[in-house]
Amino acid sequence: MAEKSGADILVETLLSLGVDTVFGYPGGAVLPIYDALYQHPTIKHILVRHEQAATHAAEGYARSTGKPGVVLVTSGPGATNAVTGITDALMDSIPMVVITGQVATNLIGTDAFQEADTIGITRHCTKHNYLVKNPSDLAQVVQEAFHIATQGRPGPVVIDIPKNVQVAAAEFSSHRGLENNRYQPQTEGDYQVINQAAEMIMAAKAPVFYTGGGIINSGPEASETLIELAQLVGCPVTSTLMGLGAFPAASDQWLGMLGMHGTYEANMAMNKADLVICLGARFDDRITGRIDAFSPNSKKIHVDIDRSSINKTIRVDLPVVGDVGRVMEQLLAVLKGRRFSSPGYEEWWSRIAGWRATNCLEYPENKEEIMPQLAIRKLWEATHERDPIITTEVGQHQMWAAQHFDFEKPNKWLTSGGLGTMGYGLPAAIGAQLGDPDALVIDIAGEASIQMNIQELGTATQYRLPVKLFILNNEYMGMVRQWQELTYESRYSNSYSDSLPDFVKLAESYGWTGILIEDPADLEAGIEKMLATDGPVLVDCRVAKLANCFPMIPSGAAHTEMLLSPEDVKGTMDDQAKALV
């Protein structure tokens, strides 16, 4: 066997694993790897402007393509800058492999230049991490890292490689395959348990499917299976923020998103159901509201590939550990085998019709200012036939996008759910565009969030990515302002976006096209212009400054205590509620 340097072993192993795109930023401790990349142009390296953006771009790439995202950053600040995106990927179960440079092994622990304890820092924000001390271990570690990142509940894996390990040589054969024995998560559901689940479904009078990001992670076939299963059972379907698109919004059975900013009908259905079938979701606090009031009269089935998600916050009656796509197939087979046909749930659907009649997503008409909800709806109308990929930042605009943009297919909705990371959307859009160069990719942003990774305008320019950036500009950190109205009698402590840049000029200075929309009458034309313009386009859409996101379950409240409009807002809360996020 021939000897190769650690850097070459790394790059060749990446190639053998099918890696075609790496998001990164060079620095002292990864120079040998960058030199190896220079020799291997088959791997496309995307030079971001900040390491955090590399991680979000990798997430966007992973979420839209289903393939793991790959990040390459240097030691010290390179690694610490990546931590937010790594944590984001952990919370949202995004497959990602992050390669960090490290100071040479003999310098570790000496507070060397650009040394950080990357393994220590990332131990609890990764699914697993490695410090590689010998180049002969590299190939196996990299293969195992990809296996761990993508199998079971996906997540980020960090490989920390000291610079001398990149330079030193070891024997390497590219044909060496690896059998991974130590990480083999259970994907198949236990048939006995699935039979019990089928019996519970057959006995239910008011069932609801509560679906989550696990279905997206399970692959597009899982969405097909969900549709088939939902059609067979004939009951309503709701989803978490992360699961949007797994079930088509055009279906009659679709209730919309549930949770804090979910629809009235979805939350009421969860509250009144006699059977909740949780598929690849994790009873997050944004979903449950007050735990003791969450779906009080239902039996609960929870399908999850991660056993630690089960009974973490909500006690369930029937846990099913397995891959949600596979378990749904098994469940379908059992239900069909028992000749189950939907009882129609007439009474259940008539109650749902009553809740739907509240039209909870309605918003006031406004001739003077653009209502942000209207802007999103118009964006949907103008683009939905092109199956766009939508990314978002975090805040009111994100929730409005989730409420007013209809998703029909999986992998088209990329958002930071668990960690709620402002600055996610633009790099994620860049990653998604690289994964699908022909797709229409739009980042729906807010003027505050977008400034957290605004430097990535340059990345899109450099790689000629025709990303569209649609900023709902209300000159506020809108969600902070909304909570201050709810909880602190509208004392707007530091929630005003002062000293904003001229976004159009900013776009132009980066080589983008900038469009300003101020008048409701210009909204549709502005969107058309954005879509008709080649290359990257930024739209600064000035929207009603004080519009708020409803419906809303305030923190510490039950699903039945939704605020449907500004009139329901009291302006203060007790300490119990104030203590909740």
Nearer to another protein, 145 or 537 (CB): 145
Does residue 306 belong to the site contacting another protein (CB under 8 A)?
yes
Contact predicate 404/249, CB 8 Å: no
Catalytic entry in 163, 272, 299, 378: 163
Restricted to residues 108-147, the positions that interact with another protein (CB under 8 A) are 119-120, 123-124, 127-128, 131
Contact predicate 22/37, CB 8 Å: yes
Does residue 575 belong to the site contacting another protein (CB under 8 A)?
yes
Nearer to another protein, 321 or 539 (CB): 321
**Binding residue for another protein, selected from 148, 204, 414, 523, defined by CB under 8 A:** 148
Contact predicate 446/420, CB 8 Å: no
Nearer to another protein, 175 or 182 (CB): 182
Nearer to another protein, 132 or 266 (CB): 132
For residues 142-169, one letter each, b for 16 or more C-beta atoms within 10 angstroms of the residue's C-beta and e for the rest, the string is bbbbbbbbbbbbbbbbbbbbbbbbbebe
Smallest distance from the beta carbon of 322 to another protein, in angstroms?
14
Does residue 182 belong to the site contacting another protein (CB under 8 A)?
yes
Q: What is the DSSP string of 203-223?
A: H-SSEEEEE-HHHHHT-HHHH
Does residue 186 belong to the site contacting another protein (CB under 8 A)?
no
Contact predicate 487/537, CB 8 Å: no
Smallest distance from the beta carbon of 12 to another protein, in angstroms?
24
Nearer to another protein, 25 or 283 (CB): 283
**Binding residue for another protein, selected from 312, 409, 529, 545, defined by CB under 8 A:** 312
Active site residue 381: no
Smallest distance from the beta carbon of 337 to another protein, in angstroms?
31
Does residue 386 belong to the site contacting another protein (CB under 8 A)?
no
Smallest distance from the beta carbon of 224 to another protein, in angstroms?
28
Active site residue 188: no
Residue 158 parent element (H or E): strand 156-162
**Binding residue for another protein, selected from 113, 183, 191, 492, defined by CB under 8 A:** 183
Q: Which two tokens stand for residue 127?
A: 């699914």
Contact predicate 348/205, CB 8 Å: yes
Contact predicate 411/448, CB 8 Å: no
Smallest distance from the beta carbon of 133 to another protein, in angstroms?
8
Alpha helices in 169-280 (DSSP H): 191-203, 213-217, 220-233, 264-272
Contact predicate 226/211, CB 8 Å: yes
Nearer to another protein, 262 or 319 (CB): 319
Nearer to another protein, 67 or 312 (CB): 312
Where residue 489 falls (left for φ over 0; alpha for ψ -120 to 50; beta otherwise) is: left
Does residue 356 belong to the site contacting another protein (CB under 8 A)?
no
Does residue 581 belong to the site contacting another protein (CB under 8 A)?
no
Catalytic entry in 4, 12, 23, 51: 51
Does residue 45 belong to the site contacting another protein (CB under 8 A)?
no
Smallest distance from the beta carbon of 148 to another protein, in angstroms?
6
Smallest distance from the beta carbon of 53 to another protein, in angstroms?
26
Sheet with strand 207-211: strands edge to edge: 254-257, 237-239, 207-211, 275-279, 299-304, 318-321
Does residue 291 belong to the site contacting another protein (CB under 8 A)?
no
DSSP state of 190: P
Does residue 402 belong to the site contacting another protein (CB under 8 A)?
no
Other C-beta atoms within 10 Å of 232: how many?
16
Catalytic entry in 114, 151, 196, 455: 114
d(CA 318, CA 315): 9
Q: Which two tokens stand for residue 391?
A: 């990314």
Does residue 311 belong to the site contacting another protein (CB under 8 A)?
yes
Q: Which two tokens stand for residue 61?
A: 């790439």
Distance of CA 123 to the CA centre of its chain: 21
Q: What is residue 255's three-state secondary structure?
A: strand
Q: Which two tokens stand for residue 242?
A: 């992360």
Strand partners, 321: 304
CA dist 77 → 9, 103, 129 (Å)? 25, 12, 18
Does residue 96 belong to the site contacting another protein (CB under 8 A)?
no
Strand 468-473 and strand 537-542: the pairing is parallel
Does residue 191 belong to the site contacting another protein (CB under 8 A)?
no
CA dist 8 → 33, 39, 167, 190, 469 (Å)? 7, 9, 9, 44, 38
Does residue 310 belong to the site contacting another protein (CB under 8 A)?
yes
d(CA 228, CA 101): 47
Nearer to another protein, 224 or 306 (CB): 306
Active site residue 479: yes
Contact predicate 232/336, CB 8 Å: yes
Q: Which two tokens stand for residue 454?
A: 């605004």
Does residue 307 belong to the site contacting another protein (CB under 8 A)?
yes
Other C-beta atoms within 10 Å of 26: how many?
18
Smallest distance from the beta carbon of 225 to another protein, in angstroms?
25
Smallest distance from the beta carbon of 127 to another protein, in angstroms?
7
**Binding residue for another protein, selected from 39, 192, 308, 494, defined by CB under 8 A:** 308
Does residue 492 belong to the site contacting another protein (CB under 8 A)?
no
Smallest distance from the beta carbon of 290 to another protein, in angstroms?
15
Q: How many residues bind another protein (CB under 8 A)?
A: 21
d(CA 486, CA 490): 7
Catalytic entry in 3, 113, 221, 570: 113
Nearer to another protein, 173 or 576 (CB): 576
Does residue 315 belong to the site contacting another protein (CB under 8 A)?
yes
Nearer to another protein, 40 or 123 (CB): 123
Where on the chain is the footprint of another protein (CB under 8 A)? 119-120, 123-124, 127-128, 131, 148, 182-183, 306-308, 310-312, 315, 574-576, 579
Query: Annotated catalytic sites, by residue?
Result: 51, 113-114, 163, 479
